[in-house]
A and B are shown apart, each in its own frame.
Chain A
Amino acid sequence: MKKKFNSLKEFYSYQSNNTIMKSKILVGYGSCGIAAGADKVYDTFESEIIKRSLKDIELIKVGCLGLCFSEPNVEIIINGLPDILYGKVDEKFAVRIIDEHIINKNIINHNLYDKPYIDLFNNKES
């Protein structure tokens, strides 16, 4: 949605449509992530989502989380489950994430990482 704010009033009355709660796959897509293979992981997620016609799931390229040693990093946000960060994700593991975590709501017991900080705005640690 593109729009130009012509006044401060317009800006303040605008509600970003980005807050709708959807399941999210966040792929760390900075230079470091891409160097470690985040592009292939992203493509895998994309094609799996289309292949299985998964709805209500948002695949997002995000910047660097700072965990360079465990790149590529992928965070899965699903309502009801804690936000989960997987490190060292490859294409095969991405398919597992779709199968087990996204579809069956089963967290995979492999390469789980703690998020190293709290979110300043949502004030939500995960």
Chain B
Amino acid sequence: MNNNVILVSNNSPHLYDKFQKLLTEKNLINKYQLKKFNTFGLNTYTSIIKIYPDKIIYVDSLENDIEEIVNDHLINGKIVKRLLYKNEHKNYLKSGPLPIYHKQLRLVLRNSGLIDPESIESYLSREGYRALAKILNNTTQDNVIDEIKISELRGRGGAGYPTWLKWNFTKQAQSDIKYIICNADEGDPGAYMDRSVLEGDPHSVIEGMIIAAFTVNANNGFIYIRAEYPLAIKRLEKAIKDAKEYGFLGKNILGTNFSFDIEIRLGAGAFVCGEETALISSIEGNRGMPRPRPPFPSTKGLWEKPTVINNVETLANIPLIILKGGDWYNKIGTEKSKGTKVFALTGKVKNSGLVEVPMGTSLREIIYDVGGGILNDNKFKAVQTGGPSGGVIPEDKLDTPISYESLNELGSIMGSGGMIVMDHTDCMVDVSKFYLQFSVDESCGKCSPCRIGGRQMLDLLTNISEGKSDESIIEKIEAISSAMQKASLCGLGQTAPNPVISTLKYFKDEYIDHIVNKKCISGKCKSLIVFEIDKNNCIGCHLCAIKCPVNAISGGKKEIHYIDQNKCIKCGLCFDACKFNAVIKS
């Protein structure tokens, strides 16, 4: 087997060609497998060359360096030190594993993509249930709380409440019956972090729940997951069944006095059920509507019993913190936000996908280094975080290190981790309308600020996008926003105005353009654009009229055509179809 492999990053095809030329000249081409690979972090390095089996990484090599690599390294076995990848100011050398030059750090997704999620053996082979055994072996409940406290883990569902504090409230609460709930009711548009964790590594979440149960003295747990995730449900069911068979769940776990069981509850697709009190009411069999807090679920939750509710990602962190220690975890991240965060990076970005980065990574690093930049190299406009409860962040704020606090300051939120990249073809009025429409649809209707305020605000935004407004409208929007934020019962209503407020803050010009000039530069607000025929260019080919789905275009062959504005639905098909630039969009 020819195990001499050279991998050259595909952003430097000239280096690949040079290798090929030199290896051929020196009659070495059959001794090496020379391949190109797609890499991430292309903004960091102009080129990456990996050589196996030596496990050497050279970065930023130039064409002239290749000769040196071939002569010194390949022929004489002497490593070219000046080109080596440098790690924390030290040259990276042969011994040990290859270094990481990517921006990602995978804690929550540590097993995802590496193990068979339907095999408990697969999980066991990677330290699975070791954290549980560790705490059952020689740890008190207070020790666990201390460890989580040292780690400074905060809730990954979005609000960022300290996990140890939540657990401690429930632990101290006097009650024979206590519950653990895993919130897997992921509903933000474009977010799928929890789904991927549950599909890729369900046991890590189950182990986290068992540890939580041990710590607070709970004997029953529920995973509340939306019914729209059939694969995740299937894998969870299998994982729970296997965990019971192996003795990690059920009576007398691993031969100890501790017993705990988990059941799955399916959500019926209501966004508001991600809110903890609404979720609890849904598990109880009632309509999923929030109730005022306090009392908080940690003291009075499911069936009025003390209940810990944690998000999927939070729970998946727990076994790792127990295994590696709170100190270890605490070293990752920023001063107030520790650990990593998983983001679902989508929208107008080249490498869309799931990324996990340490807190403190900048948005620019996520979008340009991990994400590879903007699709079609278009101009970046904004990035939306936190879904319908979050806001947009413009280009000049891209270097902000991510933390719960920094995103709040920017008028957005961490949220559960949705991250949607937008380019110049996206209209900010349209975007805020989209998110507000979502919140209005999903409002449960219990409190009037959310039910009526959301609807009113949506009407105002619709007026803006249709050119039926004047400048006084902004004041009205701000007044309603403030009322909703202050008076709504739960997070849904309190945060629903966020997309509108933040777009108003950073893109007020675009709103003014819509309101005063009745213009939408990106062409998304259909009521503000008009399609017309340029009489000088039209040759009467009739193609636009054939394409028009509503027969709004008239004119015989070789005659100048005409678009009936009353019939036109502004779909833009005529604009795309015309080969003579005779359809004008304005």
B370 contacts across to A, CB distance below 8 A = 116
Q: Which of A1-43 contact B (CB under 8 A)?
A: 1-8, 10-12, 14, 16-19, 26, 28, 30-32, 34
Contact assessment for A66 and B98 in the assembled complex, using a CB-CB cutoff below 8 Å: no
Q: Which of B127-165 contact A (CB under 8 A)?
A: 127, 129, 133, 136-137
A72 at the interface (CB under 8 A from B): no
B200 contacts across to A, CB distance below 8 A = 30, 62-64
B189 at the interface (CB under 8 A from A): no
Max chain B C-beta neighbours (<10 A), residue from A12, A61, A69, A117: A117
On whether A121 and B127 interact (CB within 8 A), knowing A5-B254, A82-B5, the answer reads yes
Contact assessment for A4 and B245 in the assembled complex, using a CB-CB cutoff below 8 Å: yes
Contact assessment for A69 and B351 in the assembled complex, using a CB-CB cutoff below 8 Å: yes
CB distance from B201 to the nearest CB of A (A): 6
Query: In chain A, what residue has the closest Cβ to B127?
Result: A121
Contact assessment for B353 and A66 in the assembled complex, using a CB-CB cutoff below 8 Å: yes
A107 contacts across to B, CB distance below 8 A = 5, 33, 35
Contact assessment for B38 and A82 in the assembled complex, using a CB-CB cutoff below 8 Å: no
Contact assessment for A4 and B247 in the assembled complex, using a CB-CB cutoff below 8 Å: yes
B231 at the interface (CB under 8 A from A): yes
Query: In chain A, what residue has the closest Cβ to B98?
Result: A125
Contact assessment for B245 and A2 in the assembled complex, using a CB-CB cutoff below 8 Å: yes
Measured CA separation A60–B547 after assembly (Å): 48
Contact assessment for B35 and A109 in the assembled complex, using a CB-CB cutoff below 8 Å: yes
On whether A18 and B125 interact (CB within 8 A), knowing A30-B231, A62-B115, the answer reads yes
Measured CA separation A116–B353 after assembly (Å): 11
Contact assessment for A116 and B102 in the assembled complex, using a CB-CB cutoff below 8 Å: yes
Q: Which of A4, A14, A63 contacts B199 (CB 8 A)?
A: A63
Q: Which of B25-80 contact A (CB under 8 A)?
A: 33-40, 48, 50, 52-53
Q: Which of B304-354 contact A (CB under 8 A)?
A: 320, 346, 350-354
A32 contacts across to B, CB distance below 8 A = 192, 196
B195 at the interface (CB under 8 A from A): yes
B7 at the interface (CB under 8 A from A): yes
Contact assessment for A63 and B112 in the assembled complex, using a CB-CB cutoff below 8 Å: yes
Query: In chain B, what residue has the closest Cβ to A125?
Result: B98
Contact assessment for A16 and B245 in the assembled complex, using a CB-CB cutoff below 8 Å: no
Query: In chain A, what residue has the closest Cβ to B104?
Result: A117
Measured CA separation A19–B125 after assembly (Å): 7
B99 at the interface (CB under 8 A from A): yes
Q: How many residues of B contact A (CB 8 A)?
A: 75
A56 at the interface (CB under 8 A from B): no
A61 contacts across to B, CB distance below 8 A = 116-118
On whether A60 and B116 interact (CB within 8 A), knowing A18-B122, A112-B7, A116-B40, the answer reads yes
Contact assessment for B105 and A114 in the assembled complex, using a CB-CB cutoff below 8 Å: no
Contact assessment for B40 and A125 in the assembled complex, using a CB-CB cutoff below 8 Å: no
A30 contacts across to B, CB distance below 8 A = 195-196, 199-200, 231
Contact assessment for A11 and B38 in the assembled complex, using a CB-CB cutoff below 8 Å: no
A47 contacts across to B, CB distance below 8 A = none
Contact assessment for B129 and A11 in the assembled complex, using a CB-CB cutoff below 8 Å: yes
Contact assessment for A125 and B113 in the assembled complex, using a CB-CB cutoff below 8 Å: no
Contact assessment for B353 and A67 in the assembled complex, using a CB-CB cutoff below 8 Å: yes
B355 at the interface (CB under 8 A from A): yes
A5 contacts across to B, CB distance below 8 A = 246-248, 254-255
B286 contacts across to A, CB distance below 8 A = none
Contact assessment for B113 and A8 in the assembled complex, using a CB-CB cutoff below 8 Å: no
| Chain A binding surface, main DSSP class | loop
A64 contacts across to B, CB distance below 8 A = 112-113, 196, 199-200, 354
Q: Which of A99-126 contact B (CB under 8 A)?
A: 105-109, 111-114, 116-121, 123-126
On whether A66 and B246 interact (CB within 8 A), knowing A16-B121, A107-B33, A121-B126, the answer reads no
CB distance from B59 to the nearest CB of A (A): 13
On whether A11 and B254 interact (CB within 8 A), knowing A30-B231, A60-B116, the answer reads yes
A54 contacts across to B, CB distance below 8 A = none
B254 contacts across to A, CB distance below 8 A = 5-8, 11
Contact code string A59-77 (vs B, CB < 8 Å = 1, else 0): 0111111111110010100
Measured CA separation A73–B351 after assembly (Å): 13
Contact assessment for A31 and B231 in the assembled complex, using a CB-CB cutoff below 8 Å: yes
On whether A68 and B113 interact (CB within 8 A), knowing A18-B122, A112-B7, the answer reads no
Measured CA separation A65–B113 after assembly (Å): 5
Query: In chain A, what residue has the closest Cβ to B16?
Result: A109
Query: In chain A, what residue has the closest Cβ to B355?
Result: A66
B289 contacts across to A, CB distance below 8 A = none
Query: In chain A, what residue has the closest Cβ to B3?
Result: A80
A119 contacts across to B, CB distance below 8 A = 110, 114
CB distance from A62 to the nearest CB of B (A): 5
Q: Which of A40-99 contact B (CB under 8 A)?
A: 60-70, 73, 75, 80-82, 87
B569 at the interface (CB under 8 A from A): no
Known pairs A16-B124, A69-B353; list 13 more (Cβ under 8 Å).
A1-B121, A2-B246, A6-B247, A7-B255, A12-B133, A26-B114, A61-B116, A63-B199, A109-B35, A113-B38, A114-B38, A116-B102, A117-B106
User: Can you list 27 contacts pairing A with B, beta carbon distance less than 8 Å?
Assistant: A1-B121, A5-B247, A8-B254, A12-B133, A16-B121, A16-B124, A31-B192, A32-B196, A34-B231, A63-B113, A63-B199, A64-B200, A66-B112, A66-B355, A67-B353, A73-B113, A75-B113, A109-B34, A112-B38, A114-B37, A116-B40, A117-B102, A117-B106, A117-B356, A119-B114, A120-B107, A121-B110
